[in-house]
Structure 1
Amino acid sequence: MYSLIRTVSGFFLILIIFLSLKNNVHANNVCPSPYDTGSGIKTINLPTFQKDTTGKVKLLQKIIAALRFTKNARAREQQRVITIIRTVMADSMVATAADIKKLNAELSLQQNQHFDSLRALINNIIASQEKDTVLAPDETPAEPPAPIPETDVASLISKIIPILQQKEKEERNSEAQQKQLVAVRALYGRPHDKVDTLRLSDTLGVTYTITLGHKAHVIGVHPYWMNDKYLQYNFTALSTVSFYGYTTEKDIKAKNIPPAPLNIFNLAAAAGKSRMFTYYETDPAHIEALLKDEDAQFRCIDSLLPLLQQYQADGINIWFSQLSAKQRDAFSRFVTLLSNYFEHNGQQQYTITVTLPAYDDQSAYDLRALDPLTDHFLIDFTKASGTRAGALSPMKGDARRAIEPVMSRFLNLQIAPSKFILLLSYYGTQWKKSPTGGKDVFTRYVPFSEIRNKYPGDSSVIYDEDAVAAYIEEKDANGDVTSEIWFDNENTLDVKYDYILNNGLGGVAIWPLGADDGYGELWDELAYKFISIDTTFTDTIKLGPPTIVTSSWWTRVVNKVSHEMLTLKLLFTDPCQLEAEKDRDDSFFAYVTLFFFIIALLIGFFYAYNVRMTGMDWPWRKLVLRILIAWVLITAFFGIVTLFLNRDVPFGITHADVTNAKSKCVTIPMLDLLLIFTVGLLLGMLIMRILIRPLLSKNDKP
């Protein structure tokens, strides 16, 4: 009982003390820390948004204010937002609540989540505001716009920042691309057999060769109507050049190639690229006449092989459109006949590729039967279809024409991914928009060069991030969209090329080359993505000064004598082989001749002196005379050898004709010459003995 009373009393005591103290509640105030040396209550002012009492707060100010108090905002993101807004909107431009809501709604769409799309949207707001601010003379100004909700501004900032981050990433990729292209271009025209040396240390290095290769196949299709635009092609970026210009007529006979020579094949061959013909047919009647008649197929195939041999092509691409289900087996038999014919009659192995539609709704192609007969399948993404404006080769979307679902369907056939090559177009498509929101109408294919000429700036380009495609809206005088032009540029092709490389596909085929004539960004993107710099290390070498091997005097004499004996051997067998020794020193035999000549003079003086002093009775006269004659003959022999080896002597055997570098060596072996000389000497002595000596009198005989 005592403890209970004590507890209750303590509770009431604490309550009385608390109520007797003065307690102030401060908004935005906090109590000081016990460790704070200051005294009293400290106030922290929490940040608040500035109230928009006028309804005319600038968009730039709203963005800066929102970024300043966004939890994850960073300084450079704030600066990027300021930069982009300043480039597209004047500082005096007023953004209304409706403008912010419109931007939020548009940026919520996938196709507008791109830097250039953001610019286009803000430009549209500027245009609409300028149009709304033009008042008639008797018109009164409208009421001030309503204040912009802070939530709308914050939502806008959350959408803009990722777009600017994506732009920064694109700029970094562009810088990396330029560095890669500089390295690739430095190797243009480099001899394939040039060897470089890399220093590993002060005394050791490795030799290596550098060549340009490809990460995957890059086939460029040149149609005959592009004429001489091939003169501007970057053949280094291509691995294969395909000429589109071979078809059949009603009688199933091969149509002649255009009369202009196929100089594109010559340039491709000079660049070391493969050459291919595209055998195409777009008329269903011609295809039916060919596939139903086996004799017609043989006549067609007989005309293909001479064509490939004449232009030194490496293969054929079969591009038939509008095949039907009933032609499925017939087409497979035709490709089988072509494959067997090339295998048994061609002197080289020719490649066969088949172009397939992205969506084979009639199952006209038996891929499992064609797989062992062909080298690659070209998946055609160059045909416009559907009733809504869109890209030729979207990444996602319609399962009949989008790259990802189409390739997923092909890869499920258990065919190697490396056999599939995406055929992408350098043409855009123009669509007429329905004013009532109904079906769009495809009107024509537009070359990339025409699009760039008509719309040189980026402000008019809108990107569909889902389809990975660019499009441009064409508007009438009232600002209504009348048509759209969908196309691929370097930004959209960058993503599609990455898809090809990351999924191990066979490569890309470009249709048609020349559609970008005058612009180089598509070539740069192609080279950046697919050209590889291949380095092959060949050997490890010493970088120190070469060691000079000194040999003895006797070794040098032996080597010299051996070399000159080989020269004598060649003189007696095949003197023309001496022409291969361009640095041969011919002075050796000249010195030998001079030596023998001096000795012969000394022997002659010695013989003459003794005959003069002793007379003919000198006992050594005959011996010395024989030695002198032999010595003179040896001297004469070496003298002849010296003359034959001397390149400055016009009648020398190894004389070099400097006026004609292609002149051939025409000579006879020394042995044959000596035989001729000996036979001539013997004949002369025989004639002297038989014919001339009997005619002489005894007194005339020596």
Structure 2
Amino acid sequence: MLKFNFMKKILFILSVFALISIYAQSKKIVFGYLPSWEIIDTANLKIDYETITHISPFSFQANPDGSIKFIDYWTSKWNPIFAKARAKNIKIIISLTNFNPDELKTILNSSSVTSTMIDNIIKILKDNSLDGINIDFEGLYDEDKGAPMNSFMNQLYTKTKSADSKYEISIALPSINFRNKWNYTYLSTYSDYVIVMAYDYYGSWSEFTAPTSPLDGLNFTIKRSIESDYANIVAFDPSKVVLALPFYGNAWRTNSEDPFASVKPYSDTASFNNYITPTYFQEIPFLPPFTQRIFNDQTKSTWYKFVDGDYIIQNWIDDEYSLELKMDYAITKNLGGIGIWALGYDGIRPELRNLIKSKFNPTHVAIEDIIPTDFKLYQNYPNPFNGSTVIKYYLPKESFIKIEIFNSIGELVQSLYNSFQNAGLHELVFDGENFSSGVYFYKISSPTFSETKKLEMLK
């Protein structure tokens, strides 16, 4: 009997660990971008709402006067998609884009334009019962990637969260921080998560064949992004990093069957812009007869080759096998989840959707027994910090709480919060611009709980 009871306990413990593992998977983000051009023919649009946690209509356009151009087909074709998403508790996060550096300079450097745009963002979210916004500003001048972009995200985060703390604020960022002009760590402070666009490492500007999203083995890879460019964020809070993966690839024209071969343009006018032609995952079965599939162990990527007249076409496109390695890497690094560029690019093929289900199980229902039941104060992020830092805490029930900042000799220097707050996970931003460098302490207190942690400011 004693042995039997012991085995029952072991089985119970193992089952709890299994449930915790499933619960941890379920908390991962699966962020699917849905471009407007993919919904033109909604009858043939295949979206598996069981595989995603977020859907992002791509895209709304940010205008240099602060106005916002609505996405195409709003709302005629989008409402049925949103209804299905809401039925599955999928969050709807609009994507706001601008790829014009001159317009972005105006948006980011004019206080009136910035204020108008943020007001318009909040209005769109409220009027359409949306869950948040993803900022995708690309092609910025170097001088606008630092302080102007930081200030915009600071204001967007602060003002939008004040309107409704449940709104999710995120930003899509380049995989490589060329010339170190971006401050990824600062931007993550004013985002619920950052989306690493882990594709286009190699493309129309490259003079040799290569995968659009190599895991390893070349100068620019996913591993370099996560372990170098985004290393500070990953070290402090990897859940803030979402690794966006491509459901597409590139076909290169060459005279060689070897990988990384020199590229030939697709027309007589030599131009980087015609060194590639895009290929989508759904098109793989329709590659020409006698196409050879090859796995490149150096980059952990799949590619295909076939003869086309006098040339050899090398088609580097991830399939379910190479994408699985990238998803496993995101899981190993305990990242916040994955992104998909883009929904619809897999057509009716189920392989990628099945892969996501097996890795992230987005439709899992939370298990009440393992939800936290105690107050918890997390370490601020980033720490040490320069300028501002995020303080995160968990309340198991509605409580009257105080969040206070003290200097190194115990003097109260700032009160961040002093009121009732609902149960759940919360975060506040401590702006230390007016404080000198040094060690400070932050304290959460309620009638039944208090905890203090140390933070350090470096200027």
Q: Which residue of 2 aligns with 1:525?
A: 355
CA distance in 1, matches of 2:288, 2:27: 33
**If you compute each CA radius of gyration, which structure gives the higher value, 1 or 2?**
1
Letter in 2 for 1:433: T
Contact persistence 2:31–2:53 (CA under 8 A): yes
Q: Which residue of 2 aligns with 1:324?
A: 141
Q: Secondary structure at 1:232's aligned position in 2?
A: coil
Alignment of 1:309-348 (within 5 A): 309-327=126-144, 328-344=146-162, 346-348=163-165
CA distance in 1, matches of 2:49, 2:299: 30
Q: Is 2:274 the counterpart of 1:274?
A: no
Q: TM-score, normalised by structure 1?
A: 0.44
CA distance in 2, matches of 1:300, 1:341: 11
Superposed CA RMSD: 2.7
Contact persistence 1:342–1:349 (CA under 8 A): no
CA distance in 2, matches of 1:243, 1:310: 16
Letter in 1 for 2:29: H
Q: Which residue of 2 aligns with 1:467?
A: 299
Q: Which residue of 2 aligns with 1:394?
A: 214
Alignment of 1:450-599 (within 5 A): 450-454=283-287, 460-477=292-309, 481-531=311-361, 533=364, 536=367
Contact persistence 1:449–1:518 (CA under 8 A): yes
Q: Which residue of 1 aligns with 2:56?
A: 242
Q: Is 2:198 the counterpart of 1:381?
A: yes
Q: Which residue of 1 aligns with 2:242?
A: 421
Structure having the higher strand fraction is 2
Q: Which residue of 2 aligns with 1:683?
A: none
Contact persistence 1:377–1:420 (CA under 8 A): yes
Aligned residues: 326
Indicate which of 193, 202, 226 corresponds to 1:407: 226
Unpaired segments of 5 or more residues in structure 1? Answer: 1-199, 201-207, 539-702
Q: Is 2:104 the counterpart of 1:287?
A: yes
Letter in 1 for 2:248: Y
The 3 A distance-change label for structure 1 pair 216 and 446 is same
Residue identity (%): 22
Q: Which residue of 2 aligns with 1:562?
A: none
Alpha-carbon offset, residue 367 of structure 1: 2.0
Moved more, 318-327 or 507-516: 318-327
Alpha-carbon offset, residue 434 of structure 1: 5.0
Contact persistence 1:430–1:486 (CA under 8 A): yes
Alpha-carbon offset, residue 504 of structure 1: 0.5
Letter in 2 for 1:363: N
Contact persistence 1:462–1:471 (CA under 8 A): yes
Deviations 1:69-106 (A, max 9, x none): xxxxxxxxxxxxxxxxxxxxxxxxxxxxxxxxxxxxxx
CA distance in 2, matches of 1:456, 1:252: 52
Contact persistence 2:38–2:45 (CA under 8 A): no
Alignment of 1:75-114 (within 5 A): none
Contact persistence 2:195–2:339 (CA under 8 A): yes
Q: Secondary structure at 1:323's aligned position in 2?
A: coil
CA distance in 2, matches of 1:230, 1:304: 31
Alignment of 1:345-360 (within 5 A): 346-360=163-177
Contact persistence 2:65–2:107 (CA under 8 A): no
CA distance in 2, matches of 1:309, 1:497: 34
Letter in 2 for 1:467: T
Deviations 1:21-74 (A, max 9, x none): xxxxxxxxxxxxxxxxxxxxxxxxxxxxxxxxxxxxxxxxxxxxxxxxxxxxxx
CA distance in 1, matches of 2:368, 2:110: 55
Alpha-carbon offset, residue 412 of structure 1: 3.0
Contact persistence 1:430–1:485 (CA under 8 A): yes
The 3 A distance-change label for structure 1 pair 408 and 229 is farther
CA distance in 2, matches of 1:508, 1:536: 22
Alignment of 1:179-194 (within 5 A): none
CA distance in 2, matches of 1:419, 1:537: 24
CA distance in 1, matches of 2:341, 2:312: 28
Structure having the higher helix fraction is 1
CA distance in 1, matches of 2:230, 2:361: 25
Indicate which of 422, 425, 431 corresponds to 2:252: 431
Alpha-carbon offset, residue 439 of structure 1: 4.4
The 3 A distance-change label for structure 1 pair 536 and 250 is closer
Alpha-carbon offset, residue 530 of structure 1: 0.9
Q: Secondary structure at 2:50's aligned position in 1?
A: helix
Q: Which residue of 1 aligns with 2:69?
A: 255
Unpaired segments of 5 or more residues in structure 2? Answer: 1-7, 9-15, 266-274, 370-459
Q: Is 2:278 the counterpart of 1:445?
A: yes
CA distance in 1, matches of 2:366, 2:148: 47
The 3 A distance-change label for structure 1 pair 537 and 404 is closer
CA distance in 1, matches of 2:150, 2:329: 30
The 3 A distance-change label for structure 1 pair 449 and 412 is closer
The 3 A distance-change label for structure 1 pair 221 and 299 is same
Larger RCO: 1 or 2 (CA < 8 Å, sep 6+)? 2
Contact persistence 1:241–1:274 (CA under 8 A): yes
Deviations 1:501-539 (A, max 9, x none): 11111110000100111211111111111107568488x
Q: Which residue of 1 aligns with 2:82?
A: 265
Q: Which residue of 2 aligns with 1:214?
A: 26
Letter in 2 for 1:444: T
